[in-house]
Each structure stands twice: as C-alpha cells, then as structure tokens.
Amino acid sequence: MAKLLVIFFGGVLLNNFILSRFLGICPFIGISQQVETAAGMSVAVIFVMGLASVVTWFFRHMILVPLGLEYLQTIAFILIIAALVQLVEMVIQKTSPTLYQALGIYLPLITTNCAVLGVTLLNVSENYNLLEAAVNGVAGASGFALAILLFAAIRERMELSEIPEALKGFPIALITAGLMSMAFLGFAGFRLEALFGVM
Amino acid sequence: MSFKSEFSKGIVKENPTFRMLLGMCPTMATSLAISNGLGMGLAATFVLVGSNIIISALRKVTPEKIRIPIFVVVIATFVTTVDLVMAAFLPSLHEVLGIFIPLIVVNCIIFARAEAFAFQHGIVDSLADGLGMGLGWTLALCGLSAIRELLGTGTVLAFPDFGFPGIHVFDQSLAAVMVILPPGGFITLGLLIGLLNWLTNRKSKRAQEG
C-alpha cells in the first residue's frame, strides 16, 4: 500500500509528466486557453491513461512475453492505445451522450498524446506489477491534469496583461511553463519513501 | 517543386521546431547535450525519410479511411528498427534518450509530414521533404543543446559513446545547472523562439519601410 502511495505522489508531484518528464507538451500548450476545456481534456486523459496501463500490462504479460515478441512492444502498444481510444469514444457515445458532448473532440486527440504511450513504456521499464502499473497510469494523468489546470488558469489571466510583441503566444507560454516547472522542482526535496515508511 | 527546394524548405522556411512548433516534447527532453540532440535528430530523420518513402509509395493503394492506422504501423516499424540498432551500437546514448526513442512513434512532425506531404506527393519529393524536415529538426535540436550544454555544464561536445570528454570552456562551479534541468528547457526554447520572432518582425518591418 505504502509503495502505491509513493508511486502516486511521485507521479503527481515529483516526476510530473509535463513539468519534469516533458511528456504531453502538445495538448498542454494547445488546449490550455480556458480552464473548462482543460478540465474536459484532463478527465479524458485520466480515464484513457489508467485503462491503457492495465490493458497493455495484460497484453505484454499474456501475449508478448510468453511468445518472446517483446521487440514488437512499440507497435503493439500504439495500436492498442489507438483502438482503446476509439472504443472508449464509442462506449461513451452510446452510454452517456452528455459526457460525450463534453469530451467529444478531445478523445481522438489522446492517441497522439505522448504521455499515454509514455506511461505504458515506463510501466515496462520500471517493471511494475498490474496494480502498480494502474496506479502509475492514473497518477501520471492526475499530474497532467494538475499542471494543465493551473496553467490554463494562469493563461486566462495572461490574456489581460501586456506582453512584448515577439513573445506573444507560444514563447510566453513556454516561459510560464518553465517557471511552473521551477516551482515543481521544489517537490524534489520530498523524501516519499521515508514519509510513507518504505525503505 | 524541385528536389532542392523541397529539401531546403524544412531547414529554414518551415523549420519544424521554430516555425511550425511541432514535436516539442522530445525537443526539450533530449536537448541536454549536443550528442543527445544529434542522436535524437538523426534517429528521427531516419524514421521520417523511411516512413515518407513507404507512405508515398503506397499512397495509391492505401484506402483513405484507414490511412491513419497504416501510417502508424509504417512509422512504428521504422522506430523499432532505430531503437534496436541504437541499443546495439550506441548503448549509452540509448540509455540517455530512454523512452524518447520509442516515443518517436507519436512525434507530430512525422505524422504531419506523412499526412500533409508524403500522402500526396511522389517518392523522390517525399524523400527530399523527409530529409529536409529531419535535418531542420536536427539543426534546431543541436542549436538548443549547444546553448544548454554550454551554460549548464561548462563543457561542449561531450560524446560518451566515442570516449570524447568534450571541450572544456569554463569551470563547472560557474555553470547554471538550472539550464539543463527541466525549467531551463522550457525557458531557453521560449526565449529562442521569441528571439527568432523578433528578428523576423524587424526584417519585415524594414522591408515595408524601405
């Protein structure tokens, strides 16, 4: 249990996917103009990343490893993620049209979000078991959600401020993200293992 | 357009990093040292050229509706090739680049070129486009890495795989370590794009005035 907490808080704060691992920058910059749309994207990402972690874990341990096909990992994982996103989209459309309305346009974009493929590959390289992989997926996505929501709130304020002509748009967004990343670097001082008593 | 103009547009006019703002994650994550930037850039160039050629060759027999999954499989095949070759011949570079090599699969530069160029143009043009875009990205990565490696470590051109320790410029105790940490990646890239915007604005203003 304690190890799961370490993985969770590590993923959200210490190794934040956007601000310290550089995964998922495109949606982070692209879909952060408004807090509302950022929240929609976050929910969709949490859902898909948690699910993708579980499904790829089963696929790897039930099919790729027994058959000795680990080298097909990249191809298999990206196809699983693409299929999964499509499936989730269809299920949501049938069961909850309101949620589909809210998430609709963000779902297809998730396939090319490198945080999703990234988390499944990290689960493999860290040798996580099923539960740890699932927690890691949800934690990574929650970290993504935290960063994108904070960033969207800052950007809404930035609309009103005066910015030098050359820095408008993308460059100032990057610099803001850099300052946020510097703040998150402060969490590196936390010693989670000691805090939760895992040695 | 000719081979030469297809090739050169990716390097300056439509540079993927500075002009089109594509593929930001690996740009910031791997620009810690020139050797990393160069390795990442060349790996992506190989994938880009290979996938552009194959996608362009198959464009007449690819059904429009399922083109995206087909692109993914072609790109992922080349990425796996690069991943395995690099693990065998450049192990320490492979270690440093880590998951960013398999993540070339979801790099938007490669997707964008497959969808916007290779699917509509001939094989030779697509090859030139892939090579130009790939090298344009490699140059951008090397430029960004050079700044970060120099300011962050005081040494440039360290190549651990070839046993080259790098050129020592100033003492490490004077180096700004923040530049090679994640915040440095965001801020350096932001300022660099801002600088290029400023230069372009100034040039077009001058052209208007005189």
DSSP string, A48-102: HHHHHHHHHHHHIIIIIHHHT-GGGHHHHHHHHHHHHHHHHHHHHHHH-HHHHHH
Half-sphere exposure of residue A37, counting CA atoms within 13 Å on the CB side? 15
Q: Check CB contact under 8 Å for B76 and A181.
A: no
Supply the mean pLDDT for chain A: 85
Task: Check: CB of residue A37 under 8 Å from CB of residue A31.
Answer: yes
Q: Is B161 exposed, middle or buried (0-12, 13-18, 19+ CB in 10 A)?
A: middle
Overall average pLDDT of the A26-41 stretch: 81
Most A CBs within 10 A among B24, B32, B40, hence the mutation to make, goes to: B24
Overall average pLDDT of the A25-32 stretch: 81
Overall average pLDDT of the A172-189 stretch: 88
Task: Check: CB of residue A180 under 8 Å from CB of residue B187.
Answer: no
Distance CA B17, CA B137 (A): 6
Q: Check CB contact under 8 Å for A114 and B69.
A: no
Distance CA A63, CA A21 (A): 29
Q: How much of chain A exceeds pLDDT 90, in percent?
A: 23
Q: Check CB contact under 8 Å for A181 and B106.
A: no
Overall average pLDDT of the A50-74 stretch: 90
- Length in residues, chain A: 199
Q: Return the structure tokens found at B124.
A: 């030779």
B residues 6..25 contacting A (CB < 8 A): 21, 24-25
Distance from CA of A197 to the nearest CA of B (A): 28
Question: Residue A20: helix, strand or coil by DSSP?
Answer: coil
Task: Check: CB of residue B184 under 8 Å from CB of residue B29.
Answer: no
Q: Check CB contact under 8 Å for A166 and B198.
A: yes
How confident is the model over A65-109, as pLDDT tens digits? Answer: 888 888 888 889 988 988 888 888 888 788 878 777 766 667 777
Q: How confident is the model at residue A133 (pLDDT cuts 50, 70, 90)?
A: very high
Helix (H), strand (E) at residue B168: strand B167-168
Flag whether residue B84 sits within 8 Å of chain A, measured between CB atoms: yes
Residues from chain B contacting residue A167 (CB–CB below 8 Å): 190, 194, 197
Compute φ and ψ for B156, nearest 5 degrees: -125, 160
Domain locations in chain B? Answer: 3-205
Q: How confident is the model at residue A35 (pLDDT cuts 50, 70, 90)?
A: confident
Of the two residues B154 and A177, the one the predictor is more confident about is A177
- Hey, what amino acid is at B116? A
Instruction: Give the position of tokens 């910015």.
Output: A163
- Hey, what amino acid is at B188? T
Residues from chain A contacting residue B193 (CB–CB below 8 Å): 170-171, 174
Quick one: residue B22, left, alpha or beta (phi over 0 = left, psi -120 to 50 = alpha)? beta
Residues of chain B with pLDDT under 70: 1, 161, 210
pLDDT at A199 over 60: no
DSSP A168: T
pLDDT at A192 over 70: yes
Task: Check: CB of residue B18 under 8 Å from CB of residue B140.
Answer: yes
Q: How large is the angle between the packed helices A130-158 and A170-185, nearest 10 degrees?
A: 130
- The partner residue sitting opposite A166, judged by closest CB among B99, B187, B194, is B194
Residues from chain B contacting residue A177 (CB–CB below 8 Å): 186, 190
Flag whether residue B87 sits within 8 Å of chain A, measured between CB atoms: no
The C-alpha angle A62, B76, B43, rounded to 5 degrees, equals 125
Residues from chain A contacting residue B187 (CB–CB below 8 Å): 174-175, 178-179
Most B CBs within 10 A among A20, A22, A163, hence the mutation to make, goes to: A22
Residues from chain A contacting residue B28 (CB–CB below 8 Å): 22, 25
Question: In chain A, which residue's Cα lies nearest the Cα of B75?
Answer: A75
Which residues fall within 8 angstroms of residue A176, CB to CB, at 6 or more apart?
Answer: A151, A154, A155, A158
